[in-house]
Structure 1
Amino acid sequence: MALTDTFIKKAKHSGKPAGDKHTDGGAMYLHVKAEGKYWRMAYRMHGKQKTLYIGVYPAVSLAQAREVRKRAKEQLAQGIDPSTAKREDKQASTSAAQSTFEAVALAWLKATAHKRSEATAARIERRLQIDVFPEIGRLPIANIKPPTMRAMMDKVAARGVADTAQRVANACELVFRYAVSRGLTEKDATVGLRDTLPKTKKKHHAAITEPLALGALLRAMHDYNGSPCTVAALKLSPMLLVRPGELRHMEWTELDFDSAEWRIPGEKMKMRADHIVPLSTQTIELLRSLQPLTGAGQYVFSSLRTGARPMSENTVNAALRGMGYTKEVQTAHGFRATARTIMDEVLSERVDLIEHQLAHTVKDANGRAYNRTAHLPARQQMMQRWADYLDRLRVGAEVIPLAVKMA
């Protein structure tokens, strides 16, 4: 006879080691054991006797167990093993839970961590946490369609910050590419998305490029009263041609004073390639003055709060503002443009050497990119000439105005 809810509730273990089986018809039965009540279904597949484990009572009710039995009978009629189908469904469910957009995005960040700095990775993750995960983070990435991405990006773009919208879209695109490459989804739901977003205006970093004005700035920097690390970073900013982030992350182990070189590993560089910065005698003198203060730590320009981190990214810019130079006149990053312009137009240095020292891609006559050691002696001499020129500007000697180019 078919089982009833009342019977099932009252059924107790008789004490038999193997338990007690109560059939409900259709080969399904309730297996009552000392530890609980279990739904089972006996069936044969390819001549072998097998058991389908349906679930535990009362989590799985009588009605639910019968629905599973019905589906199992249908699968058997189609030549499908119910146990195998159940296992595959469970695996698919687990996979879906592990393949949400958030899970895939975090996996992508971890797998590609070697391609970016810790600071960059933190900014990307923070951008995803704020703008993306609340909207689509819990959705299986395979189920996300272009309209969903479009709706999310419209919200980001509505804030009116084109740069943020483009960066969020770029991060999502890279996550989808990663998912496609791992077989987690078949299509990239971000295709064409960035093309429809507001375009980011190219930002130029303010820079003084007139020698007399630069001389005045150098004198102000020389008289600036701040912490030793801040003063040194400020003075080195126009001398080294590196980006502010590269300067503040300088480590003592990267410096070789005997060879007069600073060797920056690729993971710290924007172009992800190793870079060598020749050190002038003035640069080495400045750096050596910091050794008694931060030489025992990791970073040359360590944070005032803790030596475990470099100084703040705003330190040099804050010093410039304190000296009266607004962001419309000079920025820390702008010192690269300052050097690029004056070294070319005033000192007539070779443009390819300047570009190489700026860590821009420079190709040889055969179209191949130069490696990090290309023209190193010539660059060493150029960087010494540049440091000497800055010294002359600071004391007000040998100032050569920019040549006026004829149209």
Structure 2
Amino acid sequence: MPLTDTAIRNTASREKPYKIFDGGGLHLLINPGGSRLWRLKYRFGGREKLLSLGPYPLVSLKLAREKRDAAKLLLLEDKDPGEERKLARIEAERERAVTFGVVAREYLSKLEKEGRAPATLKKLNWLISQTEPMLSERPVAQIETPDVLRLLRQVESKGTYETTSRLRSTIGSVFRYAIATGRAHKDPTEALKGALIRPQVRSRSAILDPKELGLLLNRIDAFSGQPATKHALHLLALLAPRPGELRLATWDEFERQEATWRVPAERMKMRRPHRVPLPRQALDQLKELHRHTGTSDYLFPSARSWKKPMSENTLNAALRRMGYSSDQITAHGFRATFSTFANESGLWAADAVERALAHVEGNDVRRAYVRGEHWEERVRMADWWAKKLDQLRTDAAGQ
């Protein structure tokens, strides 16, 4: 006869445990101490087994019957309810162990093995550190969109909109890696597009007026700081590299007999090796610079230790010392200066200018055809640009 709640409440404990049965293998075990525990007896693979369903009255008679029926459905599918419960428990424990922080560290390790630039890895590590502790200790599969939004709103409230945007992108990259490796099922940052304040896009400040450029070159000539810093500024103007590419340059990358600087792929933004033609004026700068820093591996070693490169703030600090604000020029702005003058001259193919700047064609089809380095043209362009700077310097000095 099926059990009723009244019958269960009227049961009393005895000296020994005993059972009262409901049906289909479901029964209630009543212990001497008064505890009442639901059990399900079933057979699987020819063996009798027992499944615990929880204590009464926390698990009511109705809920116990629902659990019994769910177990019976698994048996119909030739699944052992006890083993299925163990697997679910293991999976839950695995999910709790796989936190966002664990996946993020694994993702960063992957990028490092792929040869990402140290500067890039440093920035990503810093961004990931912003997720502590709000996300880093949470199981990655349990993080929802509102959880990420709360974190991003905290960062956004400081007015750092660019950082907020990059942090959202980085968190999204970690989630996509988690999905690919079977630790998550969705990327909660997808729904946040448009929810955050969009940072204003600002171009790198650069000097584009010929007279002002000539004055700047003369001020660099008169710079009274470290000689290496002065040479670095001159080489920025002459060669238009990214500041990081120049700051981390080592002497073994320069073939002065062939007048070529070979920048290895790991230091390039687009992860491709890059050749830079060296005009006579650049070779003169290198010759003079070698007198000051030739015993270091780096062209521009740190003032504190010659085993380390110059600080990334040194060049911009030198420009500020010469009286230029960040709205007038930055170290990166020399690239825009070169690009503007070269393109507006009408003397050089746009592809040659882009290749000189180590830009990669964004159009996939076009990139498949534009593979050359335009080396011969770039050699002539480098010579033209060096002479152009000399002329601007002379013109400004005579005014």
Q: Equivalents in 2 of 1:220, 1:187: separation in Å?
A: 55
Instruction: Show the counterpart of 2:235.
Output: 236
For the 8 Å contact 2:140–2:183, the answer to whether it is kept is yes
Q: Return the offset for 1:240.
A: 0.9
Residues 96-119 of structure 1, C-alpha deviations (whole Å, 9 max, x = no match): 244211111111111122363212
Matches within 5 A, 1:200-215: 200-215=199-214
Say whether the 8 Å CA contact 1:297–1:308 is kept in structure 2.
Answer: yes
Q: Is the 8 A contact 2:352 2:373 kept in 1?
A: no
Q: Please state if 1:268 is matched with 2:267.
A: yes
Hey, what's the Cα distance between the residues in 2 that align with 1:387 and 1:398?
Answer: 17
Contact 1:228 1:290 (8 Å CA) reproduced: yes
Q: Which amino acid aligns with 1:287?
A: L
Instruction: Quote the offset at 1:294 in angstroms.
Output: 3.7
How far 1:366 sits from its partner (Å)?
A: 6.3
Task: State whether residues 229 and 290 of structure 1, in contact with CA within 8 Å, keep that contact through their aligned partners in structure 2.
Answer: yes
Displacement, 1:314? 1.2
Letter in 2 for 1:160: G
- TM-superposed CA distance for 1:326, in Å, is 1.7
Distance 1:93 1:291 in 2: 62
In structure 1, what residue type is equivalent to 2:343?
Answer: D
Q: 1:2, 1:144 → 2: CA distance?
A: 48
Task: Give the C-alpha shift of residue 48 in structure 1.
Answer: 7.2
- Taking the aligned partners of 2:290 and 2:88, their CA distance within structure 1 comes to 62
Deviation, 1:206, is: 1.7
Structure 1 window deviating more from structure 2 (190-199 vs 167-176): it is 190-199
In 2, the alpha carbon distance for the partners of 1:216 and 1:398 equals 7
Which whole-Å CA distance do the structure 2 matches of 1:365 and 1:174 have between them?
23
Report deviation, 1:318.
1.0
Residue-by-residue CA offset, 1:264-298 (whole Å, 9 max, x unaligned): 22332222322221111221222233335444443
Name the CA distance, whole Å, in 1 between partners of 2:71 and 2:145: 39
Aligned residues: 351
Q: Residue in 1 aligned with 2:381?
A: 382
2:312 partner SS: coil
**Post-superposition offset of 1:169:** 0.5
Structure 1 unaligned segments of length 5 or more: list them: 4-25, 27-42, 53-62, 400-407
SS in 2 for 1:276: strand
Give the deviation of 1:49 after TM superposition.
10
Alpha-carbon distance in 2 for matches of 1:277, 1:148 = 47
Aligned CA distance change for structure 1 residues 398 and 122 (closer, same or farther; 3 Å): closer
The Cα of 1:364 is off from its aligned counterpart by 9.9
User: Is structure 2 residue 216 aligned with structure 1 residue 217?
Assistant: yes
CA deviation profile, 1:345-372 (whole Å, cap 9, x unmatched):
2473333211221122248996235677
In structure 1, the residue matched to 2:129 is 129
SS in structure 1 of the partner of residue 148 of structure 2: helix
1:230-269 deviation digits (Å, cap 9, x = unpaired) = 1211111111111111111112232222322222223322
Instruction: Indicate the residue corresponding to 1:179 in structure 2.
Output: 178
Flag structure 2 segments of 5+ consecutive residues without an equivalent. Answer: 1-14, 18-28, 30-41
Shift of 1:86: 7.1
Select between 207-216 and 279-288 the one with higher mean Cα deviation. Answer: 279-288
Three-state SS of the structure 1 residue aligned to 2:367 is: coil
Equivalent position SS for 1:135: coil
Taking a change above 3 Å as real, the CA distance of residues 44 and 307 of structure 1, as seen in their structure-2 partners, is farther
Residue in 2 that maps onto 1:314: 313
Q: Which stretch shifts more, 92-101 or 385-394?
A: 92-101
Q: Is the 8 A contact 1:275 1:372 kept in 2?
A: no
Aligned alpha-carbon RMSD (Å): 3.7
